[in-house]
Amino acid sequence: MALPIYTETRYRIWHYSYLLICGSVFFFLIAPLFVIIPLSFNAEPYIHFSDKMLALDPDGFSLRWYEDMIYGTKNSWGQAMRNSLNIAFFATIGSVVLGTLAALGLSSRYMPYKALIMSILISPMIVPLIISAVAIFFSEARFGMTSTFTGVVLAHIILGTPFVVITVTATLSGFDDSITRAAASLGSNPTNTFFKITMPLIAPGIISGALFAFVTSFDEIVVIMFVGGPDQMTIPYQMWIGLREQLSPTIMAVATCLILMSTLLLLSMELLRRRSQRIRGLEA
């Protein structure tokens, strides 16, 4: 937005200096992305800019690494991608269900020890991940759930639930309880009130929490190293192994897809935030 004509010189200097600082920080943060994305289209099996790429020769570019990522065989990038998506999908569902129920309980005026319960629920976000991984490993090892799909999903549910609790609780903080009381006075039962009134109003918070839970599960590597097995190899774990053992441009292709996914998730959360504000009447 342009500054008014009557703005003093010192304020103009500060305004443009502030924009320059923000632009510099933004460039510093995203500059590495401009290196990763072109390298993912390299036709050669090396992570470098070849002479043909620098000369913009079409023969220097290829989609072979994206094909390797998608159509790879078992225990390869393709299988790791499918594992990550499957684990993240079920972990997100579990996190949304548990987190939403917990947030609804914490929003009740009759819930005792709210601060204590909230601190326990969000503790996986605060405790160092290596400690959580060790605790989850010993807990699941007692029941023989390590190196199983169910054990990995349960571990990721533990990590993703706090994000759903926080986002849904924040949404419920501005919820008008008079709406549910009006529905009850008109004969609506609690289940019908929840699905017809409460759920649509807190949907932006639930979806935002689900996105956070999905990203947390999809990007997790420490816990999967403890509780996962060869059949639960995920994309982050595969990237870590690839960086240590076999450096391949497929890593650049995977990183490019993760960048695009993160960008889409950020845009989705921004749209949900604006929708939530419009519903509450905070934004035109």
Residue 229 maps to a domain: yes
Residue 57 lies in a domain: no
Q: Domain holding 95: CATH number?
A: 1.10.3720.10
Domain membership of residue 247 (yes or no) is: yes
- Round to whole Å and give the CA distance between 266 and 273: 10
Look at residue 70 and tell me whether its pLDDT is greater than 80: no
Q: Measure CA 278 to chain center.
A: 24
Domain annotation covers residue 179: yes
Q: Above 70 in pLDDT, residue 72?
A: no
Output the pLDDT for position 201: 80
Residue 65 pLDDT grade (very low, low, confident, very high; cuts 50, 70, 90)? confident
Q: Which residue has the tokens 């999809």?
A: 218
Looking at residue 198, its pLDDT comes to: 82
Q: Helices (H) and strands (E) in the chain — how many of each?
A: 15, 0
DSSP bridge partners of 42: 61
- Does the pLDDT value for residue 284 go beyond 50? no
pLDDT band at 190 (very low <50, low <70, confident <90, very high): confident
Q: Could you tell me which residue, 160 or 114, shows the higher pLDDT?
A: 160
- Between residues 21 and 10, which one has the greater pLDDT? 21
With respect to residue 196, please indicate whether it lies within any of the assigned structural domains.
yes
Residue 247 pLDDT grade (very low, low, confident, very high; cuts 50, 70, 90): confident
- The domain tally of the chain equals 1
- Identify the three-state secondary structure at position 42: strand
Listed in sequence order, the residues at least 6 apart from 134 whose beta carbon sits closer than 8 Å to its beta carbon are 226
The answer to whether residue 20 is domain-embedded is no
Within 13 A of 259's CA, how many CA atoms are on the CB side? 17
pLDDT bracket for residue 281 (50, 70, 90) = low
Q: Which domain does 185 fall in, by range?
A: 70-280
| Angle at 36 (CA atoms; ends 25, 61), nearest 5 degrees | 140
Specify if 17 maps to a domain. no
Q: Which of 207, 90, 105 minimizes the C-alpha distance to 157?
A: 90
What average pLDDT does the segment 144-167 reach?
91
Region 119-145: mean pLDDT is 88
- For residue range 230-244, list pLDDT tens digits in order: 888 888 888 888 777
User: Residue 69's Cα: distance from chain center in Å?
Assistant: 21
Q: Is residue 74 part of a domain?
A: yes
Up-side HSE of residue 264: CA atoms within 13 Å toward CB?
8
**Which amino acid, 57?**
D
pLDDT in tens, 87-108: 999 999 999 999 998 988 888 7
pTM confidence score: 0.77
Higher pLDDT, 131 or 48: 131
CB 133 within 8 A of CB 226: yes
